[in-house]
């Protein structure tokens, strides 16, 4: 197991090198220099030169890349041109927000998807089965941003139940021992804040969680249908074991194997969906931050942010592979 | 293997088999999902091609005369889907939006498919350093979330119209998917007995690749291409929604329409509903066909018509 993890981590290295070159080259290919973007109307040639010098943009390209790699390895991702804050500290502040959103979305997707798929399979061919099939078909076909707009209209505009912007009301005070707002509120027993953060979280989590929900429901249904006809299930029935025990121990547990793979795969994909969800709901996470940085040509943010997201993405996939190997002893890691 | 499975396998072996494609076609015809999907997709294609005949007005025509002071008038006999905030006919814009989605979707999948196809075929058939090089590059591309990659390419502002940039951007995100798929498929086919036999009798390498391996590796690619069309249409609309659609904001584009409808959500939610439903129906159609094709082309199910 350890050898497998180490090997996978080593495979990460060429990906990271390729990624850093790609992002670095892309930044240089963008139209308009960051110096001009930063200065705006004050972009006289002299000012531009001064800013270029300050950010090291006047050095040869290979030196710039070497500097960039050296700094990145030591954990220095540069300073955001727009906010003048260090990129690393912004990531530290924003990543917990995205994490919280992705986690909530996954809780929603798993919590609703597995029962939906399970009961659809148990009542195979019934109206509930057809309804669940319909839900999962619509779920994978509806764009996140359209779903988000509908949710906004129904729950915010029409019913006035939930907020649509941000992750906490500006009037509520909250200490941040962890940076994950929901957890912070719990730890400091700040129930007003907890409720407020939760209310801000519901709509984005549903919007982001619907695609994984649909896919999880579908895979669960297929897996349960598959496992139900296995010989060991028939044997258990013949032995006269109580049906609930068979359902739980023989069927559900074995059906969870393919489901766990798909959950892992979908977790990686959430990062992409987070860009749209965070933008629609103005949720201050990594996704909306990078999308804004691209519009504002905030080079250090794009550089550091994309690299960070990609590393997270690859690590999530590694974690999925490892946990799958632990869950399924039949898999031989080679 | 259970008794039922053994029996079905025996049945399958005894059953008369037409070609793979004929069998697939027969299975497709009996799949209700495939039928519904085809209706949606055919409607989309017909609407896209004949948009000028189906639309009632030009999508960019502005009619102030029937625009009241408050935004926005709902459906009427004059404007079936109502008018948007600047006085466009929403119905005509949704119709022309299908045309744009169709063109951009098909072209971008073709871009991703052809480049990914060539890269995957080379990697799978040549192997060695070439294989490693290509696949590492694909890994790097896959490590960037797809939409972010597309945003990045559009942000480069290449000196071509924005619409071509969108096609390239969405196409590029598809390259690694097709490359991986084709490489895996070819690697699996390469070890097959018929390839060995062809090699043994001295068939040349290109002939083996094009005549023996590719035809057998193609069916997962077709399935993926159908599903990729669904994703491409969503991605194009997502770019439009984020403000990275065609330069001219009057261009009828579904994502773009949804984004501007957001500002008038409380006054006229239908402005968002119409283009949104158009996207859902189209994407649903391609997803249904893709799923049905996957089942129909599955060699494991052959003979079970």
* Six token digits for residue B200: 């043994």
Instruction: Give pLDDT, residue B11.
Output: 52
How many residue contacts between A and B have a Cβ separation below 8 Å? 118
Instruction: Give pLDDT, residue B167.
Output: 94
| pLDDT tens by residue, A219-263 | 999 999 888 888 888 888 888 888 888 888 888 888 887 888 788
CB contact under 8 A, A294 and B144: no
State yes or no: pLDDT of A333 exceeds 50. no
Instruction: Give pLDDT, residue B299.
Output: 65
B42-54 average pLDDT score: 89
Instruction: Give pLDDT, residue B8.
Output: 57
User: Which positions in chain B touch A143 (Cβ < 8 Å)?
Assistant: 234, 237-238, 241, 255, 276, 279-280, 283
**d(Cα A317, Cα B143) in Å, to the nearest integer?**
10
| pLDDT tens by residue, B199-219 | 888 888 888 878 878 877 788
State yes or no: pLDDT of A322 exceeds 80. no
Instruction: Give pLDDT, residue A127.
Output: 92
**d(Cα B161, Cα B158) in Å, to the nearest integer?**
8
Site from B136, B140, B158, B264 to mutate, A interface, most A CB atoms within 10 angstroms: B140
CB contact under 8 A, B237 and A145: yes
Candidates B143, B146, B276; nearest CB to A146: B276
- The pLDDT-based confidence of B301 (bands split at 50, 70, 90) is low
CB contact under 8 A, A272 and B266: no
pTM above 0.90, yes or no: no
ipTM: 0.84
Instruction: Give pLDDT, residue B245.
Output: 84
Instruction: Give chain B as a 3 state SS string.
Output: CCHHHHHHHHHHHHCCCCCHHHHHHHHHHCCHHHHHHHHHHHHHHHHHHCHHHHCCCCCCCCCCCCCCCCCCCCCCCCCCCCECCCCCEHHHHHHHHHHHHHHHHHHHHHHHHHHHHHHHHHHHHHCHHHHHHHHHHHHHHHHCCHHHHHHHHHHCCCCCCHHHHHHHHHHHHHHHHHHHHHHHHHHHHHCCHHHHHHHHCCCCHHHHHHHHHHHHHHHHHHHHHHHHHHHHHHHHHHHHHCCCCCCCCCCCCHHHHHHHHHHHCCCCCHHHHHHHHHHHHHHHHHHHHHHHHHHHHCHHHCCCC
């Amino acid at each position: 197991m350890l050898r497998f993890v180490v090997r996978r981590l080593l495979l990460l290295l060429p990906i990271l090198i390729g990624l850093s070159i790609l992002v670095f080259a892309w930044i240089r290919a963008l139209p308009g220099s960051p110096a001009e973007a930063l200065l705006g109307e004050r972009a006289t040639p002299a000012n531009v030169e001064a800013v270029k010098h300050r950010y090291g943009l006047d050095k040869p390209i290979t030196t710039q890349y070497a500097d960039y790699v050296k700094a990145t390895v030591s954990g220095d991702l540069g300073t955001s041109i727009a906010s003048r804050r260090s990129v690393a500290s912004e990531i530290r502040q924003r990543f917990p927000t995205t994490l919280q959103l992705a986690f909530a979305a996954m809780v929603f997707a798993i919590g609703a998807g597995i029962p939906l798929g399970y009961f659809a399979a148990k009542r195979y061919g019934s109206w509930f089965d057809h309804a669940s099939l319909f839900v999962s078909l619509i779920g994978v076909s509806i764009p996140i941003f359209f779903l988000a707009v509908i949710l906004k209209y129904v729950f915010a505009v029409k019913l006035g139940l939930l907020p649509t912007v941000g992750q906490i009301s500006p009037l509520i005070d909250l200490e941040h021992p962890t940076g994950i707002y929901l957890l912070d509120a719990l730890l400091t027993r700040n129930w007003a804040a907890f409720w407020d953060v939760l209310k801000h979280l519901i709509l984005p989590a549903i919007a982001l969680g619907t695609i994984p929900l649909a896919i999880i429901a579908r895979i669960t249904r297929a897996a349960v249908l598959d496992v139900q006809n296995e010989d060991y299930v028939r044997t258990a029935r013949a032995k006269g074991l109580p049906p609930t025990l068979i359902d739980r121990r023989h069927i559900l547990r074995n059906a969870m194997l393919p489901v766990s793979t798909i959950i892992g795969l979908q977790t990686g994909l959430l990062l992409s969906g987070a860009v749209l969800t965070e933008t629609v709901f103005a949720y201050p996470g990594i996704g909306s931050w990078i999308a804004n940085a691209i519009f504002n040509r905030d080079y250090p943010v794009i550089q550091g942010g994309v690299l960070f997201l990609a590393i997270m993405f690859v690590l999530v996939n590694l974690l999925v592979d490892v946990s799958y190997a632990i869950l399924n002893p039949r898999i031989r890691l080679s | 293997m259970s008794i039922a499975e053994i029996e079905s396998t025996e049945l399958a072996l005894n059953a008369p088999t037409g070609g793979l494609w004929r069998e697939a076609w027969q299975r497709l015809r009996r799949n209700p999902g495939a039928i519904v999907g085809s209706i949606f997709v055919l409607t989309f294609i017909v609407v896209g091609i004949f948009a000028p005949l189906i639309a009632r007005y030009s999508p960019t025509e502005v009619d102030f005369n029937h625009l009241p002071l408050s935004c926005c008038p709902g459906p009427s006999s004059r404007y079936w889907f109502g008018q948007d905030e600047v006085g466009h006919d929403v119905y005509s814009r949704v119709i022309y939006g299908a045309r744009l989605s169709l063109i951009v979707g098909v072209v971008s999948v073709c871009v991703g498919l052809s480049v990914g196809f060539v890269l995957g075929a080379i990697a799978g058939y040549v192997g060695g350093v070439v294989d490693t090089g290509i696949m590492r590059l694909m890994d790097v591309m896959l490590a960037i979330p797809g939409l972010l990659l597309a945003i990045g390419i559009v942000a480069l502002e290449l000196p071509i119209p924005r619409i071509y940039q969108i096609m390239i951007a969405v196409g590029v995100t598809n390259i690694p998917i097709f490359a991986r798929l084709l490489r895996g498929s070819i690697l699996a086919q390469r070890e097959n007995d018929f390839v060995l036999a062809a090699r043994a009798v001295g068939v040349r390498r290109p002939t083996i690749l094009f005549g023996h391996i590719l035809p057998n590796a193609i069916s997962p690619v077709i399935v993926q291409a159908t599903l990729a069309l669904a994703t491409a249409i969503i991605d194009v609309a997502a770019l439009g929604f984020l403000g990275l659609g065609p330069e001219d904001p009057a261009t009828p584009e579904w994502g773009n329409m949804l984004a501007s409808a957001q500002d008038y959500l409380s006054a006229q939610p239908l402005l968002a509903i119409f283009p949104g439903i158009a996207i859902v129906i189209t994407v649903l159609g391609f997803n249904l066909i893709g799923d049905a094709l996957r089942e129909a082309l599955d060699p494991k199910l052959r003979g079970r018509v």
